[in-house]
């Protein structure tokens, strides 16, 4: 199963303080909008999303169809195929994609420790 680009989406208390902290670690702003309380920061192939007031927990995020620079891949496992494989393996999904749709869609599942995993396809 190819899940695509990986990032951690962090629930931050102060986006400006978090931005400054991660810039000190060598990250730079790659996307997002600080005025809308979210930034995507990048250091080489490592991506961190900073989200202030958008969700309660940190989230493991995968983006099928994207490489680590958010560039479209020509070959990837569609989120609906991933969904089918997970369901066949007996994994319960908190949110499912419409299996009859195409293009952008997302699913959410929890790991055994209650960590949310978002599989978010943008292409």
Question: From first to last of its 123 residues, what are the pLDDT tens digits of the chain?
Answer: 999 999 999 999 999 999 999 999 999 999 999 999 999 999 999 999 999 999 999 999 999 999 999 999 999 999 999 999 999 999 999 999 999 999 999 999 999 999 999 999 999
The CATH number fitting domain 5-121, selected from 3.40.50.300, 3.40.50.2000, 3.10.180.10, 3.40.190.10: 3.10.180.10
Predicted local distance difference test score (pLDDT) of residue 47: 96
Q: Is 74 helix (H, G, I), strand (E, B) or coil?
A: coil
Task: Give exposure, 45-69, as e/b (b: 16+ Cβ within 10 Å).
Answer: eebbbbbbeeeeeebbbbbbbbebe
Prediction pTM value: 0.92
Predicted local distance difference test score (pLDDT) of residue 15: 98
Predicted local distance difference test score (pLDDT) of residue 103: 96
Predicted local distance difference test score (pLDDT) of residue 104: 98
Structure tokens at 69: 């620079």
Predicted local distance difference test score (pLDDT) of residue 81: 98
Cα 103 from Cα 121, distance rounded (Å): 8
Domain boundaries, the chain: 5-121
């Amino acid at each position: 199963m190819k899940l695509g680009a990986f990032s951690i989406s962090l629930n931050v208390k102060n986006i400006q303080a978090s931005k400054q902290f991660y810039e000190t670690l060598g990250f730079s702003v790659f996307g997002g909008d600080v005025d809308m309380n979210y930034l995507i920061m990048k250091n080489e192939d490592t991506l961190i999303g900073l989200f202030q007031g958008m969700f309660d927990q940190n989230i493991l995020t995968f983006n099928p169809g994207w490489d680590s620079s958010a560039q479209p891949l020509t070959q990837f496992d569609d989120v609906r195929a991933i969904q089918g494989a997970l369901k066949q393996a007996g994994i319960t999904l908190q949110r499912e994609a419409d299996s009859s749709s195409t293009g952008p869609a997302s699913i959410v599942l929890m790991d055994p420790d209650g960590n949310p995993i978002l599989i978010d396809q943008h292409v």
